[in-house]
Structure 1
Amino acid sequence: MTEELGKGLTISNLKPDADAKVRLSVLYRLNGIEDVDGKELLKFEMHRAGSITNTDLVTVDEHGITCWARINLDGELIKFDPPQTMVAAPLKQGATWNFDGQAGDLKVHQQYTVTGEEDVEVPAGEFHTFRIRGEQSSPSRMTMDRWFAPGTGIVKDVTTMRAADGDLLERISLELAERPKIENRPEVKSEAASKRLSVTFANDQFGKPSTTFSSDAPQI
């Protein structure tokens, strides 16, 4: 995983390299089944630095890949209403789908389009993929570019978040390093240690952090 931040932004406890990017190893793993409201869902975990940062609870069927809920880093279960289509089937150029619903307490609007077929090369090899372009307008501005290889899954993913003025806030890039295989679940660190909360302020929701505000600022 490669993480790039906008000018002046930093992430505590993570040191960027010479080109101002943070690089971390990420592992995705299917880890059994979770029952949610009487429905059996596959547990798709994301492991990073010894922690499970999130777990998507999904189904895979003739309609595609659908996410019904997500477990975040703190163990909170967040349900999607309606369930969110991550990859629709069958995939073909020009296919579109939307997610216009709730993710927990958040109102989310996303639109996805299959823009075409592409051959892409990543560390795991070369794959023939469908490129999926996603755009989110609520609750924050975001674009998601995904390259999906049938029989393998998403082999490349680039998510970009921008401020209201268009300036880059964060870009996260993922590329498949090894082809999927069966192996033991990695060790997960205990969450007993205390966590430190960092807070920044901005004039606008999802705006760039600021340390200076005028006395008549309408909101922070």
Structure 2
Amino acid sequence: MKHFAFSFCLACTFGFAPNAFGAETPLPSTPGTIWHYQMTQEFGEGVHPSDKSVKFDAQGKLHLPIDIYLAGKQRVGDVDTLKYDMYRQGAVSLTEFLTVDEKGVTAIARSMENGEPSLCVPPQKILNFPPRAGEKWNYKGSVGDMETEQAFEIVGQESVQAPAGKFDAFHLRLTQVAPTPPKVVEDRWFVPNIGYVKIVTTMTLPNGNLLQRITLELSDGPKIGEKPAAASAPSASPAEKKLLHAALAKELTAEPTTSFTPDLKKIFCRWQGDALNKGDKIHCVWIAEDVGEVAPPNYKVDETSMTADGPTAAGTFILSRPNKGWPPGKYRVELYAGDQLADTLKFTIAAAK
């Protein structure tokens, strides 16, 4: 059984967001500084976002305003950091705890949706200052309980256009080495005294097909401004208050289905948190309910777990085909958040024709 968790790409974007700063430091450090961005999110063929409340344009792209707000200083462990909050749809979706000095920018910790900070061990160098074309460095460590490895490169200086204007910027490229898949490449354009004016994050599948692409373009700022107003979330009915929801598919990004053939190599169980707690153990149990004489009723085929890193954590469990193929019959998947049954998915393996 193989499994992996997706970390939404914005989680590795805004710890690198800009600040208002003086001439001798790369980013600003004045509390109350705010940046306004325009976000465009596009999806690969067969990929559908889980958030049904957002609306898409005629090309299937999502457009949203994004704000970055420097909330102030906060001590994390034994380090004094600057706290940057990313606002999406009126709520904090990511917080980055950074140190900023004349040598560059370093990430000390991150948190998702107002959760507890997850330490970067060791601290992650985000930008050396001043930037130098051709400079390369690598990071290997962990953020919370997730191991990660990334390669950084200053590609060069380029002219880049954004809604806020045209800029002469340093082009920084970050490549996610691990965990994969998906393959993640992030291109950022940095301007001293302003910050990142454009960020393009591209996630692709092993076959090279697009999973999703997120583009952030500076529309205004940095400037001293008001803290973004928090949106009041609509109250959910009891039926809507699920810990998570899930779907089965024949491929990682394929349409959901509940019917499979005996020769299928893998069955994918994608899950998305709705009201999880950071650190929740998400446990997946594959069960053969009725496969005739091949196995007794409700036979446990396999089980595995992963850890949620926030309320809307997401991931995929994968069950590989047995050597002799799938026995036809009725099956189900049980997903638990801690000790609580969060979702049950029933499916069938049809007999070969």
Q: TM-score, normalised by structure 1?
A: 0.90
Shift of 1:117: 0.2
In the alignment, the residues of structure 2 paired with residue 60 and residue 202 of structure 1 have an alpha-carbon distance, to the nearest angstrom, of: 44
- Describe the superposition over 1:157-187 as per-residue Cα deviations: whole angstroms up to 9, x where unpaired: 0001111211111100000001211111012
- Describe the superposition over 1:71-129 as per-residue Cα deviations: whole angstroms up to 9, x where unpaired: 10251322111111221222111011111111111111110111110111211112110
> Is the alpha carbon distance of 1:209 and 1:108 closer, same or farther for their aligned partners in structure 2, counting shifts above 3 Å?
farther
Equivalence map 1:1-20=2 (5 Å): 1-11=39-49, 12-13=51-52, 14-20=54-60
- Describe the superposition over 1:12-35 as per-residue Cα deviations: whole angstroms up to 9, x where unpaired: 322210121100000011001111
Q: Work out whether 1:157 is the aligned partner of 2:199.
A: yes
In the alignment, the residues of structure 1 paired with residue 79 and residue 142 of structure 2 have an alpha-carbon distance, to the nearest angstrom, of: 19
In the alignment, the residues of structure 2 paired with residue 4 and residue 200 of structure 1 have an alpha-carbon distance, to the nearest angstrom, of: 21
Which residue pairs with 2:229 in the alignment? 187
Which residue pairs with 1:167 in the alignment? 209
Which residue pairs with 1:89 in the alignment? 129
Runs of at least 5 residues in structure 1 that lack an aligned partner in the other structure = none
Which residue pairs with 1:44 in the alignment? 84
> Is the alpha carbon distance of 1:213 and 1:98 closer, same or farther for their aligned partners in structure 2, counting shifts above 3 Å?
farther
- Number of equivalent positions: 218
Q: Work out whether 1:79 is the aligned partner of 2:119.
A: yes
> Is the alpha carbon distance of 1:183 and 1:65 closer, same or farther for their aligned partners in structure 2, counting shifts above 3 Å?
same
> Is the alpha carbon distance of 1:161 and 1:129 closer, same or farther for their aligned partners in structure 2, counting shifts above 3 Å?
same
In the alignment, the residues of structure 2 paired with residue 103 and residue 190 of structure 1 have an alpha-carbon distance, to the nearest angstrom, of: 30
Which residue pairs with 1:134 in the alignment? 174
Contact 1:88 1:97 in 2 (8 A): no
In the alignment, the residues of structure 2 paired with residue 213 and residue 42 of structure 1 have an alpha-carbon distance, to the nearest angstrom, of: 51
Which structure is larger by alpha-carbon Rg, 1 or 2?
2
Which residue pairs with 1:208 in the alignment? 253
Which residue pairs with 2:277 in the alignment? none
Contact 2:82 2:98 in 1 (8 A): yes
Contact 1:200 1:209 in 2 (8 A): no
Shift of 1:134: 1.2
The letter for the 2-side match of 1:156 is: K
Contact 2:136 2:153 in 1 (8 A): yes
> Is the alpha carbon distance of 1:214 and 1:86 closer, same or farther for their aligned partners in structure 2, counting shifts above 3 Å?
farther
Shift of 1:68: 0.8
Higher RCO structure (Cα 8 Å, ≥6 apart): 2
Which residue pairs with 1:113 in the alignment? 153
In the alignment, the residues of structure 2 paired with residue 214 and residue 58 of structure 1 have an alpha-carbon distance, to the nearest angstrom, of: 50
Contact 1:82 1:101 in 2 (8 A): yes
The letter for the 2-side match of 1:7 is: E
Shift of 1:214: 4.2
The letter for the 1-side match of 2:57 is: D
In the alignment, the residues of structure 2 paired with residue 201 and residue 159 of structure 1 have an alpha-carbon distance, to the nearest angstrom, of: 26
Which residue pairs with 1:53 in the alignment? 93
Structure 1 stretch displaced more, 4-13 or 186-195: 186-195
Structure 1 stretch displaced more, 78-87 or 156-165: 78-87
RMSD: 2.1
In the alignment, the residues of structure 1 paired with residue 225 and residue 179 of structure 2 have an alpha-carbon distance, to the nearest angstrom, of: 37
Alignment partner of 2:74 out of 20, 31, 34:
34
Identity level (%) = 38
Contact 1:81 1:101 in 2 (8 A): yes
Contact 2:43 2:211 in 1 (8 A): yes
The letter for the 1-side match of 2:60 is: A
